[in-house]
Amino acid sequence: MPGQPALSPDGDRCLYVLRTTDTEADRDDHSIWLVGARSGPRQLTRGRADTAPIVIDRLDYQADGAGLLRTVRLHLHMLDVTTADTRQVTSGNWHAGTPSWSPDSTRLAFSAATTPDADLTLVTPVHVREIGAEPEVVGLANGYAGPAVWTADGTALLVVGAPGIQIGHMGLWRIPLDARPSVNLAESLDRNVMPGGPGYPGALPQLSDDGETVYFCVRARPGRADHRRAAGTEAGRPSREQR
């Protein structure tokens, strides 16, 4: 039985998987065949479990821990814990990063590489989406942004990232939402800010109880452990808190 058809770009040929049954061995075999619009079918492989080829058109076709992505995209959803209704709030041919609710629960902040050539440029700005509106780029438009943390008053975001895609340190950026310039709170350290992740050292920035100070991790030097630093959420030279 034929299945899993895949047309060539010019539409003139078709690959498909042919399933046959080996009655003596009591098993099904799968092999790949090719048929053209003006030619008969031709067997290409002779394995027992061959499948149709996967066509890729982007460099980010595979992810660690997930394997081949095909058409799967990671997007944000809202779950009503009372009714158990789920609603998707982002969509498109891109992946949404880790979300962060604003203090008043009316806006979501997240990073996302939304441009068609993002697999080549790696540009990943930080976005904000108001409920009922489309996401808007609010900072690091030509750079890279990791997870975002809201300031206590909801007027700015604290984001580990860089303003451009080049070799250098990741900073801790304060990104105001009123069009004022962004400020790298960790610039004076000349060290890489470490947001952490599965298998990677560091931790996400965290606000103090009063919202006036942000704690974050930096790499002290190669081969040394992370150091925790503190900085004012507005400005000021970071200080070492704990090794």
Dig out the tokens for 131 from the structure. 């409920």
Question: Residue ranges of the domains in the chain?
Answer: 2-43, 72-242
- Which range (16-20, 142-146, 161-165) has the least confidence? 16-20
Higher pLDDT, 208 or 112: 112
**Mean pLDDT, the chain, as a whole number?**
85
In sequence order, which residues have a C-beta less than 8 Å from that of residue 206 and are 6 or more positions away?
149, 214, 215, 216
pLDDT at 225: 47
Instruction: List phi, psi (to 5°) of 123.
Output: -70, 125
Q: Are 127 and 111 in contact (CB under 8 A)?
A: yes
Q: Which band of pLDDT confidence, cut at 50, 70 and 90, is reported for residue 229? A: low
CA dist 57 and 61 (Å) reads 8
Residue 2 has pLDDT above 90, yes or no: no
- Report the Cα 186 to chain-centroid distance in Å: 24
- Four-point Cα dihedral 181, 185, 189, 193, nearest 10: -110
Q: Which CATH class is domain 72-242?
A: mainly beta
pLDDT at 3: 83
User: What's the pTM?
Assistant: 0.74
Q: Are 127 and 175 in contact (CB under 8 A)?
A: no
- If you ran DSSP here, which 8-state letter would residue 171 be given? E
pLDDT at 226: 59
- Which range (147-156, 171-180, 232-241) has the least confidence? 232-241
- If you ran DSSP here, which 8-state letter would residue 23 be given? T
CA dist 235 and 223 (Å) reads 29
Q: Which band of pLDDT confidence, cut at 50, 70 and 90, is reported for residue 61? A: confident
Hey, how many other C-beta atoms are within 10 angstroms of the C-beta on 80? 9
SS3 of the chain: helix, strand, coil, percent, to 5: 5, 45, 50
Q: Which band of pLDDT confidence, cut at 50, 70 and 90, is reported for residue 123? A: very high
Dig out the tokens for 120 from the structure. 């080549």
Higher pLDDT, 169 or 84: 169
Q: Which helix (H) or strand (E) holds 118?
A: helix 118-121
Q: How many helices (H) and strands (E) does the chain have?
A: 1, 22
Tens of pLDDT, residue by residue over 25-55, are 777 888 888 899 888 988 888 776 666 677 7
Tens of pLDDT, residue by residue over 155-209, are 999 999 999 988 889 999 999 999 899 999 998 888 899 998 777 788 899 998 8
Taking residues 92-99, report their average pLDDT: 93
Pick the closest to residue 183 from 159, 203, 206, 201 (CA basis): 159
Q: Are 205 and 214 in contact (CB under 8 A)?
A: yes
pLDDT at 89: 93
